[in-house]
Structure 1
């Protein structure tokens, strides 16, 4: 059964899909164009997004917490990170989803459709769903191409984690300083660390996170988190208020190569997750702005969304971690001891010059990086 035909159809109502729909609904350039956003489930997810930026931002009214200081802790280093002029910010996904869904619905310009899209026919320009088929002039598609998992040419590791939002009996957290990485509780032969977002002296989100080629059982995260509370925080007296889990692909697979005149891949499915870190929130904001600018300039929406220079850097870094996963603590210790937080943030935001890139890369220099350079270049 064929449903209505739209000018744009956005497939997926997650971080990228909702933000794209919001920007289209707020821009007079797109007034009068029939637009739909389709997802199998528009319910509020339990997850957290963090990002850094200078000064005030467009999402400040949604912040759960922000920090101007942080820590990096390894077996031999305990580094205080003074972030100014940057601030590290946290948003809960349920707050983001609720606000954007409300704003989009209030605009009256975009239709929400609950359905699961199975495939897009680029010839007929119809998206086949379980309930109907939907025609459009252009599709923005957030579905992830699973073939990245089988690619022998590209590297994939996973950022996978479990977090406990806890309340302790006694003060154990420092609320004005988050912990980017703490390597004191180790998992054998893997890059794994504890990440802490403190809200008060007694409340925090504490996550145990892996950057690894493998996944693990749920009980492993619980065991590592329990060890952290007992051995590092020195407490057994706490209540778990909620939990969150996630698996984020960190890959140099070129998802964006699927972009055409009719279809633009977005979100994780478009390669918008920064391969070397797993961060996606600010990348999403930047790339949606680029899509809007491309459309207004008469270009294909998906043109030049990915910086190939930094994709090459990320590919080398991922290869090092995939080939030498047990060396993650050593690599990140070099990264944080030999570079300022400001330089690190600019590099990860893909705002550095070649000479600045070289400084960062030399700080990580080892035979492993040289071997990965040749593996990924030739």
Structure 2
């Protein structure tokens, strides 16, 4: 092992949302038991993902507010026939955070924390050690060597293979940051779902608009379906939505983003060894019914950090409760089989349920009697049929997680 790398209490593999969030909470001021932490991020090159956007909702005052790109107190859902359901959020804000702004915020905390080190390396494997703890290894040419050892290792790298599941869909999307010639956006309202898009044979599609000002916004095309589109397919869908549906007029594309998020009732193990734990999407933090991940990552990393900093035995809690996961399994199966119409399903929810109560439900924070009332707003017969079918539906073997073309950040006309 190179002399410049010492053993640590905690090693975090991956410097994305999950890895940086855990490091951020581990190094919170006032820890009764300071920990030595090593964060292993990817080296410069193709392993570094371009700038990404994370969205979540929480009370107005939050820990990352100084780094937000924007936030909104009103949400809108537009149905397939053009009807709009708009609602205010008296106690919550829908927030947008760019990945480089979040990384800069975390870097400032880590820079002032004793015993914290950031390392750039392409990790080849993480494994338990016979005497306790775990080891992170990297490959140099044809040889593999140890990089750092930790009492605990938290691996946040995205999964390469999805777990066996009864239902697996993908939330795949492509977005343009646009600047229009004329003021066409309402900066006070985030368009959460706009169903005036052609629907795929399986699943659903919608537009998504996050205004940053009267002339600037993130405009996305999103599908919940079995497989990603081609680059031309995304371009055509986005162009049709921006010009034909939103009627933006003349506009410039200043940046682009693209991604794939698994939506599955497969069980992601939170533990990969005696001393190796999975966090983030690989540890089940992605909500199967919506694809939202960032808020669950915060809950999970706060809980892990609190236990480690207090010296209590480590336990990585599930990001989503059992009841929430069961409801997600039903919704995914009903959507995939075509028993429910996706735009109608979400339109009913947003028309019939107060916005903040529905957001609590989507974040797994509602109570069972609230879940029951919300369930009555959905197509009851198809959902009950799916509930009865699920126990007898086999889980299919794992499969590789497909990835879209490399995301790009660029300016174009």
TM interval, short-chain normalised: over 0.9
Partner of 2:67: 62
Q: Residue 337 of structure 1 is aligned with which of 344, 351, 354?
A: 351
> How far is 1:232 from its partner?
2.2
Q: How does 1:20-31 map to 2 (within 5 A)?
A: 20-29=22-31
Q: Residue 84 of structure 2 is aligned with which of 73, 78, 82?
A: 78
Out of 211-220 and 295-304, give the one that drifted further: 295-304
Number of residue pairs matched by the alignment? 376
Q: Residue 181 of structure 2 is aligned with which of 169, 184, 200?
A: 169
Partner of 2:115: 109
* 2: CA distance, partners of 1:95 / 1:314: 31
> How far is 1:193 from its partner?
0.6
Out of 122-131 and 261-270, give the one that drifted further: 122-131
> How far is 1:185 from its partner?
2.1
TM-score, length basis structure 2: 0.85
1:323/1:85 CA distance change after superposition, 3 Å: same
1:138/1:235 CA distance change after superposition, 3 Å: closer
Q: Secondary structure at the match of 1:205?
A: strand
* 2: CA distance, partners of 1:325 / 1:370: 11
Task: Decide whether the 8 Å contact of 2:55 with 2:97 is kept in 1.
Answer: yes
Partner of 1:370: 384
Q: How does 1:193-272 map to 2 (within 5 A)?
A: 193-258=206-271, 261-272=274-285
> How far is 1:28 from its partner?
4.4
> How far is 1:65 from its partner?
1.1
Partner of 2:205: 192
Partner of 1:313: 327
> How far is 1:272 from its partner?
0.7
Give the gaps of 5 or more residues in structure 1: none
Out of 87-96 and 367-376, give the one that drifted further: 367-376
2:361 is the counterpart of 1:347: yes
Task: Decide whether the 8 Å contact of 2:199 with 2:205 is kept in 1.
Answer: yes
> How far is 1:341 from its partner?
0.6
Partner of 2:151: 137
1:121/1:59 CA distance change after superposition, 3 Å: same
Partner of 2:194: 182
* 1: CA distance, partners of 2:26 / 2:306: 11
> How far is 1:257 from its partner?
4.6
Q: Secondary structure at the match of 1:121?
A: strand
* 1: CA distance, partners of 2:282 / 2:346: 27
Task: Decide whether the 8 Å contact of 1:259 with 1:302 is kept in 2.
Answer: no
1:107/1:362 CA distance change after superposition, 3 Å: same
Q: Which has the higher contact order (CA 8 A, sep 6+)?
A: 2
TM-score, length basis structure 1: 0.92
> How far is 1:329 from its partner?
0.9
> How far is 1:143 from its partner?
2.5
2:275 is the counterpart of 1:275: no
